[in-house]
Structure 1
Amino acid sequence: MFRVRSTVAAIAAGASLMLGILPATHAAEPLKVAFVYLGPIGDGGWTYQHDQGRLAIEKEFGSKIKTTYVENVPETADAERVIRQLAADGNQLIFTTSFGYMDPTIKVAKSFPKVHFVHATGYKTAANAGTYQTRFYEGAYLLGIVAGKMTKSNTLGFVGSFPVPEVVRNINAYTLGAQSVNPKIKTKVVWVNTWYDPGKERQAAETLVAQGADMLAQNTDSPAVVQVAQEKGVHAFGWDTDMAKYGPKAHLTANTENWGVYYSREVKRELAGTWKPEQTLWGIKENLVVLSALNPSVPADVAKLFNEKKQAIVDGKLNPFAGPLKDNTGATKVPAGSALPMGELQGINWLVDGVEGSLPK
């Protein structure tokens, strides 16, 4: 019986080949790509924008990839548990998208040497783990230029999350941009010790307005700061995403990220078998840092200057951290004719002259 069935099968196969019908083959398994998020995908800020990047690669690569994500993962032992489970589930490329995931990412990477990990905003790497972050301070500098030209009180406000280098760079760049067009500028900072807490962000913004700030920026994830600016009749800037809908009159522009361009590159390398760990640092030139459209209320001369300075950054003619620079104790940090080295900028732990207060311990 077995021989007869085999012969029939062989005849059928031969007939199929004569008719040009190829035998069925198994489709290649899709590349499994995972994302670990600090906040909810609907936060309107950091996590939302990363998830837009995830959706962009789903659209670009279609059935070649399968993505998954876990949201609301705190920067605690829970992060290691989640990352480890994603690796155990067969994900081959895992993006961990918050600074506090750095050590858990490296720890799990050692346990899964064949899985590739990429950590956002950190500095630790391994044979199978790289990092990625933006020159977001370029955009913060441009926000400062608009703020410095349009402020009436000469007082800027900034809602700070944590005193990590990423945030310190942005506060400093925001202040330096404003001072480049208005030497009278002072920046007040309220620290909230969280990346995402709309209530705390709102309270911080209200405090800054009460202290005289009429231009608000943030390094937090919700649109609460923009909403307060709209209510109080002052101006604000979106952060991570375009937040104009939350404050149509208040919102002047936004410093945003186009994460899709980076995620696309990493997926292409993974699919081609050429992935390797890198420390990627992209900015405006690479279209990872994107400034949203200026509010029509921005004066024409300010818009012109904004666009000229943006182009100067793209052309490499403007470095926001070029000297002379002093910290807010008066100590010279960068002499005239030089710029803060990238290594020092990556670990910056001091505030520029004009930023009031000190970094929390």
Structure 2
Amino acid sequence: MPDTEYGYALKQARKRYQDALAKGEYPYLPVLDNILADTDIVSTVSLGIMDIPLAKLVGTKTAERSSSFASNFMPLLPERSEFGSKWAALYKYQVHEGIQDPIVAYEFMNQFYVQEGNKRVSVMKYLGAYSIPGNVTRLIPKRTDDKENRLYYEFLDFYRVSLNCDVWFSKEGSYQKLLEQMGMEPDQVWTEEERLFFRSSYGRFAKAYSMAHGEQLQLTEGDAFLVYMEIYGYDSVKGQTEREMYRALMRIWEEIQLANRGRKVELIETPQEMETDHRPSLWKWFLPAEDMPEHLKIGFIYADTVENSSWNYGHELGRLYLEQAFEGRVSTTVIEGADTEEDIAAAIEKLVDCGCTMIFTTNSKMVNQSVRSAIGHPEVKIYNCSINMSYSSICTYYARMYEAKFLMGAIAAAVSREDKLGYIADQPTYGILADINAFAMGARMINPYVKVYLEWRRVRQARTATERLREKGVRYISGKDMIIPRYPSREYGLYVLEKNGEVTNLASPIWNWGKFYEQMIQLAFESNEELEARKGKKAVNYWWGMSADVIDVICSGNLPHGTLRLIEFLKNSVRSGSFHPFDGLIYAQDGSVKCREGEKLRSEDIVTMNWLAENVEGSVPELEELNDEARERMQLQGIRVDETAQTEKK
């Protein structure tokens, strides 16, 4: 048994060496000069003296000392050697005085390689230190299409404002998400205080993640930290101790595991997909047979009041329908105006305290608190109304509104004798671009020359979206789906701006949330065993459409008889599945092919659609163009236009 610190370090080195050989891996430190042999370096930048995270120190600059260390930087040479004596002396100096001299290192692809100070790094790694001072030179490779290269250039943009090299992600776009979670702008230079707070918080999380054996997962610390921040929020993270972070991390470990598996969302597209003969009834899921309740209590949470929001008004109609459909068996409770994380948390707790065993949070901004509350109350089923949100502790639900928008486009083109149609959207969140493109597809099916002029409602503009369309000579417009009770207006659904200034309504898409909730309650629920087995493995989104009667289109009786027949035929075809709005050859604005002849877009491609159809006139607004409400929603569910994807041109 080793009886000196060097002996213990040597034991760690030999173990790592043998493990590497057994796996067929290189057992010594990587050599940067060898790595750069086939790499085109376009720029060399001096970063000066900085604290280098020891986890990022992975090798040596030259091959001279690489074989003296195992790949974990622990020493391999005998203890009774000059090398061993110097290592032991450095160890004692660090323990009693503290090593102050900076090492000399090179940074390449956000990893560091030592030129001078290998033994100092070895000692500090052995002692479990977080960082070491170093004089660093950055080597920047030529930009390529390689994923690691693209990630590195995203890191460079992040480093430019943060001066932080601790964080590394495995997925593109993650640095932008991190800044959004922190409430920072992409080009906002961090203050010294902001840098210190972040580095301290991230350092504590890194230790908590190590305590949880996160190194056994494929996620980087940064990947896991982003999931952690999404759920708990940066303000909470900043105030947590390492031990508190570890306990909180353990509570959401299923979500970390889900992220490790890719955070894919399973889309349940019909209620029938969830129906099986072997699953227990709803009542058996909640309580044993002898304790079966006479009433099921269900809670609803709205971000605003019913009077001020057409979205909440639609869900309120669904809640009232539910009480009628299950009269005497279901009672509901609603809480309005839960607009902040604190309000949402308090609302869920109130509903749990009053006996609700099923809770619907009806806004995507409530998803993170829904996850936290679901973890704290595993006996309660919590659903969040959102799409493409990947959590296994809750289920999410949404409707395929693009099916109705396709019909609306067909109606608009059929009744208009003009080649200009208008579409007003709120902000470019998931699902919205599919709605826009479906409208454009439906219109073009009737009129191949039609153009759809796109305007955004929640942008920083003095004039309204309707006014901007009117100036372009557009009269037939698809606006918001429902009226706002407190501010009634006829500018909803599909309407036409008459020459005398009046508005005539032609058709309206319907979110039938009552049917949605009715069928969700009628479904046989998963047993506790099945629910536990799903955690960490899959996220589920109930994504229903016309086939489930949760989406519909109501037409004005003044429409021509032929148009009504056509729309009824298309509606039945979509409902039966014999017709698909995104079917056949489809081009985007840039001429790229998005769907080929004889094919149809996958559901996942529709949910995450980030392009506009070729007959759409307009663009996706930049983040700075949006108002505060839209920017908040974009942080959670904003689509990002893929400008680098390789596409086939016409």
| Cα distance change of structure 1 residues 265 and 285 upon mapping to structure 2, 3 Å threshold | closer
Deviations 1:141-176 (A, max 9, x none): 001001011223321112211101221111111111
- C-alpha separation in 2, matches of 1:221 and 1:77: 29
Q: Report the CA distance between 1:221 and its aligned residue.
A: 5.0
User: Which protein has the larger Cα radius of gyration, Structure 1 or Structure 2?
Assistant: 2
Counterpart code for 2:381: H
Conserved in 1, the CA contact under 8 Å of 2:476 and 2:497? no
1:253 to 497, 504, 507: 507
- C-alpha separation in 1, matches of 2:421 and 2:436: 10
Alignment of 1:132-143 (within 5 A): 132-143=397-408
Deviations 1:62-90 (A, max 9, x none): 33322111223337664444334434543
Which stretch shifts more, 119-128 or 217-226? 217-226
- Residue 109 of structure 1 aligns to a residue whose secondary structure is helix
2:327 to 58, 62, 74: 62
Which stretch shifts more, 159-168 or 200-209? 200-209
| Cα distance change of structure 1 residues 221 and 301 upon mapping to structure 2, 3 Å threshold | closer
Deviations 1:317-340 (A, max 9, x none): 211111311111211111111111
User: Which structure ranks higher in relative contact order (CA pairs < 8 Å, sequence separation ≥ 6)?
Assistant: 1
| Cα distance change of structure 1 residues 30 and 296 upon mapping to structure 2, 3 Å threshold | closer
Deviations 1:217-271 (A, max 9, x none): 134654666348979417xxxxxxxxxxxx8x61111110221122123334589
Which stretch shifts more, 320-329 or 95-104? 95-104
- C-alpha separation in 1, matches of 2:369 and 2:557: 45
Which stretch shifts more, 201-210 or 221-230? 221-230
Conserved in 1, the CA contact under 8 Å of 2:412 and 2:443? yes
- Residue 48 of structure 1 aligns to a residue whose secondary structure is helix
| Cα distance change of structure 1 residues 27 and 101 upon mapping to structure 2, 3 Å threshold | closer
Conserved in 1, the CA contact under 8 Å of 2:512 and 2:549? yes
- C-alpha separation in 2, matches of 1:263 and 1:280: 11
TM-score, length of structure 1 as denominator length = 0.77
Alignment of 1:34-183 (within 5 A): 34-43=299-308, 45-74=310-339, 78-124=343-389, 126-183=391-448
1:264 corresponds to? 518
Q: Report the CA distance between 1:299 and its aligned residue.
A: 1.5
- C-alpha separation in 2, matches of 1:327 and 1:232: 29
2:450 corresponds to? 185
- C-alpha separation in 1, matches of 2:321 and 2:463: 31
- C-alpha separation in 2, matches of 1:202 and 1:221: 21
Q: Report the CA distance between 1:93 and its aligned residue.
A: 0.7
Counterpart code for 1:256: I
Q: Report the CA distance between 1:307 and its aligned residue.
A: 1.3
- C-alpha separation in 2, matches of 1:140 and 1:59: 29
Counterpart code for 1:166: G
Alignment of 1:23-34 (within 5 A): 28=293, 30-34=295-299
Deviations 1:295-327 (A, max 9, x none): 232112212211111121122121111131111
Conserved in 1, the CA contact under 8 Å of 2:442 and 2:581? yes
Conserved in 1, the CA contact under 8 Å of 2:496 and 2:505? no
2:546 corresponds to? 284
Conserved in 1, the CA contact under 8 Å of 2:404 and 2:552? yes
- Residue 250 of structure 1 aligns to a residue whose secondary structure is strand
Give unpaired runs (5+ residues) of structure 1: 1-25, 195-199, 235-246
2:81 corresponds to? none
Report % sequence identity.
25
| Cα distance change of structure 1 residues 71 and 166 upon mapping to structure 2, 3 Å threshold | farther
Conserved in 1, the CA contact under 8 Å of 2:423 and 2:436? yes
| Cα distance change of structure 1 residues 112 and 189 upon mapping to structure 2, 3 Å threshold | same
Which stretch shifts more, 89-98 or 217-226? 217-226
Counterpart code for 2:321: A
Deviations 1:164-219 (A, max 9, x none): 1221111111111001111111112221238xxxxx99922222122222211134
Which stretch shifts more, 56-65 or 264-273? 264-273
1:213 aligns with 2:474: yes
